[in-house]
Structure 1
């Protein structure tokens, strides 16, 4: 799934007031963390994930792995916070064309 710029801007506006629902700790990206991200995406469609990695390259690799493993779309990255979107069957968020 790809989003155009108008859809990304809309999702960024919706995500502005959200708090991160999943926090990656010292153990990094584990099966349990991926399962929590999957549950959050299925329930909310639009979530924020906080990746607490010191090294910028490691942080980027972790964020890319999350996007790849969850089949979600990266809406934006600000600092250590990754915003993800994946439509669920219920279609809670209606995207503009």
Structure 2
């Protein structure tokens, strides 16, 4: 199961990397476009490996939730996006949902 979580961490990191490159890719920079494509393709590849070892309901929720929360935090801390109580509360709900699904699937 440790291998599944390692693959899931890699899938999340690659998805976040691809997402962060989207802004630059929108300007037509070939290197940024390549980062987006490689990031997403590799992320889905690792996610496919995870699904051989973990339930899809848990794997996808963690992948999507942690990826979304990470992008939001990076946006607020490094990219100058505004921080609001609603954003922070929403991040808390994402984290609570992922933890809840993980606990519900625990055997």
Q: Structure 1 length normalisation: TM-score? A: 0.30
More helix by share: 2
- Structure with higher RCO (Cα < 8 A, 6+ apart): 1
More strand by share: 1
Q: Structure 2 length normalisation: TM-score? A: 0.28
